[in-house]
Every structure is written in C-alpha cells, then in structure tokens.
Amino acid sequence: MILWLTNFLIFCNWKVPAAFSYVSTRMMFAALTALLITIFLGPRSIKKLYELKTGQSIRVEDCPMLAQLHEKKKNTPTMGGIFLLFAIFISLVLWMDLSNIFTFIFVITLFCLGGIGAYDDYLKLKYKNSKGLSVSKKFSVQLLFAALIGYYGMIPGVAEKLQVGRYFAPPKAQEQLQKNKTLSTLSLSTSQYMTRYYVPFYKKPLFQLGGGLTILGILFTIFVITGSSNSVNLTDGLDGLAAGSVVLTATALALVAFLSNSPLIARYMNLLYIEGAGEIAIFLSATIGACLGFLWYNGYPAQVFMGDTGSLALGGILGVSAVLLRREFLLALVGGVFVAETLSVILQVISYKFYDKKRIFLCTPLHHHFEYLGWPETKVTLRFWIIGLLLAVIGIVSLKLQ
C-alpha cells in the first residue's frame, strides 16, 4: 500500500523520498512494523486468551516426566499465533507490492495454514480433552495447499493464465551462463526456473525436471512445504525455541531473496536472478520482526504460546519461501534444527514400532530428550539457537563460495 501511495504522489508531482520504493527500506520498515504491532497487541491478546482459558495441554502419554517438568505451563495461554500472524499481515499490506504474485501467495499461506492451525487450537479450546483437528484432515489441507503451489509454478502456462492485467504477473528469472570465458544470461519462464534445483556451495542447478518428471517436482514441493510446516510445529515445545529458530532461518532466506532481486548482485554472486524476489525478502523481514516481538512474551518464562496457529503458518512461510527461491536444500541446511527435531520423531516411531518397542531417545521431539537428561529448559533453547545461528552462517557463506 505504501508503495502504491508513493507512486501516486510521485505521479502527482509531489516530492517523495525515493527510498520508500527501495526493497531494503521496505524490508526494514516491514520488520519494524511487525515488531511494534506484536509488542503492542501482546498484553491485550494475552489477557483475552486468559479469559478464554486457552491453557497449554501437556503430553504425558509416552513422556510422563513432561507433566512434572512443565507443570507451571499448563495454565499458560496458547493460540498466541493469532496476533503474531496479524502483525505479519498488516506489515504485508503496508509495505509489499500488492500487485505482485508473491504477495498473493503469502496471503494465501497465512490464511490457509494459519487458519487450519487456528481451527485446530479452537477445537482444543472449545471441547475439553479434545486433541483438536484429526491429523488426516490437517495433513490433507497442507498437502492440497502445497500441491497448488507446485502446480502453479511448475506446470507450463498456468502462472501466465492467472495474470489479471498488470496484476499477478508470473515471476521470471535469469540464469547466468559461462562459455569459453564469456558470460551471458538465459531468460527463464516461471515453469522453467521453478523446475531447476540448486544446492549449497554449487552455482549451477544440480538438475532440472521436464515433461512427465515435473510431477516429481510437485511431489517434492509438497514434501518441502508440508515438512517445513510440521517441523516448526514439532519444534514449538520450549519457551522461545520455535520463534527464535524461525528468526535465524528466515534471516538467511531473506538475504538470499534480497540478493536474488538484483540482476547485478545475482550475477556477481552466481545466484539465480528472480524478478520480484524482493517481495519475498520483505515478507520474511516482517516474519522476523513479528517473531522477535512474540519472543518478548514467549521467552522464558513464557506468558503465551503460539500454538498450531503460529507454528504451522511460520513453517509454511519458510517452506514456500524456499520453494519460490529454489533453495529447498539450503532450507534443510539453515533450518537444521527443525530437520533434527523431525528426524528424532520419525526415528523414534520407527524404532518403537519395528524393534520391539525400543526407544532411541528418552522422549521426542529432540529438545525433550535433553530435558530428560537434566538440561534446564533455558540451556536447551539457548544451545539450539546457537546451533541454528551456526547453520545460518554456513548457509550464508555457501552463497559466496559457490
């Protein structure tokens, strides 16, 4: 909206600072806006959630000690993701280009994944002892949403058909080519760039899918988005752990988006230039600001939890961003904390079901295992943050070394 207003005032011959149209400026203001809104809404939202008695349920079926370790958390309100996502949305409306297709995709992400998470939290609130929405229904919505993202980006002609006038133009890209010490650029359509796959420390696409193999690309997109969404949900078990980890991962992806937005910088860094990638950077900046504001209340001892409302949406934001930037494998690196948490659950289930009910970990997700070992909650969170920061730095370094 601010971008439209700026362009309108310039059209009317008003003197408006050009900085308001810069991606870097809008990134900073998006982060600051979301941060301040989250902090401002926090007390009122937490008070309302207390009145609704949205207390945090504690899982004790397979980890009985959790009830003892987290006894003080049982009355802490959950569903705080509502005011977190609201802050992101307001920041989006103010600072992003509302005619850009990436803006539309992120709006759908917020409402779809945030909505399914909110409905799940609502059922737990309304019906006592309810486990919320069934796993199959929740997973089905995630699968459908991710499949639509893959279908939009990878099937030739689909993105072009969704353009309305100058609105929602399909994103295009440019790939740098080098032949006989001569540099050139290759222009790519949406489906061409979306079917290329890049890995850290390697500048050329690892492979490209085409024809019937495009279905594999859609399946991989589904895996990345749903996996990312659920992995953040699994990580959301200690005060501040998920929100802080999202900040670190989103920062790395925001930097990639910012660098990919400029043809000159992308060429120098051997990155894929993606038209409009700056809007992804702005949205991720808003996400960073909102998560930092949420940490104001979610840091130990937490006054509120984000619940599925926040965790499913934040994970989906990371997954969608990585897919649009063609950095799915980079997400696995910089989001290594989320990967480790998810793998711990998968390995625990496999071991329990197929190896005479033997457990690899004392309790899963992984952060609970370290709690069982006697680590204080704050130490677990801090050390996971340090690991997340290290992985984010490695991911950023990989951009220069490719």
**What confidence tens digit (pLDDT) does each residue in 206-225 have?**
999 988 999 999 999 999 99
Predicted pLDDT at 299: 93
Predicted pLDDT at 125: 80
Instruction: Say yes or no to pLDDT of 154 above 90.
Output: yes
Predicted pLDDT at 58: 61
Contact criterion met (CB below 8 Å) for 308 and 120: yes
Handedness of CA 369, 373, 374, 378 (dihedral sign): negative
The more confident residue out of 98 and 62 is 98
Cα–Cα separations (whole angstroms), residue 381 to 81, 367, 393: 19, 8, 18
Place of tokens 């951009």: 399
Can you tell me the mean pLDDT for 139-166? 94
List 175's β-bridge partners, or say none: 186
Can you tell me the mean pLDDT for 182-192? 88
Predicted pLDDT at 130: 73
pLDDT tens-digit profile of 242-295?
A: 999 999 999 999 999 999 999 999 998 989 999 999 999 999 999 999 999 999
Contact criterion met (CB below 8 Å) for 340 and 332: no
Cα–Cα separations (whole angstroms), residue 235 to 10, 91, 229: 46, 25, 10
**Average pLDDT over the chain, rounded to whole?**
91
Contact criterion met (CB below 8 Å) for 38 and 44: no
Q: At 47, is the pLDDT very low, low, confident or very high (cuts 50, 70, 90)?
A: very high
Predicted pLDDT at 61: 58
Tell which residue, 289, 233, 246, 238, has the closest CA to residue 121.
233
Q: How far apart are CA 358 and CA 382, in angstroms?
A: 30
The more confident residue out of 60 and 289 is 289
Instruction: Say yes or no to pLDDT of 60 above 60.
Output: no
The more confident residue out of 348 and 13 is 348
Predicted pLDDT at 158: 94
Q: How far apart are CA 51 and CA 73, in angstroms?
A: 16
Contact criterion met (CB below 8 Å) for 143 and 226: yes
pTM for this structure? 0.95
Predicted pLDDT at 8: 73
Tell which residue, 334, 350, 308, 338, has the closest CA to residue 395.
334
Cα–Cα separations (whole angstroms), residue 271 to 97, 101, 262, 388: 23, 21, 10, 23
Instruction: Say yes or no to pLDDT of 366 above 80.
Output: yes
Can you tell me the mean pLDDT for 391-397? 97
Q: Which two tokens stand for residue 66?
A: 């959790």
pLDDT tens-digit profile of 326-357?
A: 999 999 999 999 999 999 999 999 998 888 88
Instruction: Say yes or no to pLDDT of 173 above 90.
Output: yes
Q: At 71, is the pLDDT very low, low, confident or very high (cuts 50, 70, 90)?
A: confident
Instruction: Say yes or no to pLDDT of 55 above 70.
Output: no
Predicted pLDDT at 10: 74
Contact criterion met (CB below 8 Å) for 214 and 190: no
Predicted pLDDT at 189: 94
| Percent of the chain whose predicted confidence (pLDDT) is above 90 | 73
Predicted pLDDT at 199: 95
Instruction: Say yes or no to pLDDT of 105 above 90.
Output: yes
Instruction: Say yes or no to pLDDT of 169 above 60.
Output: yes
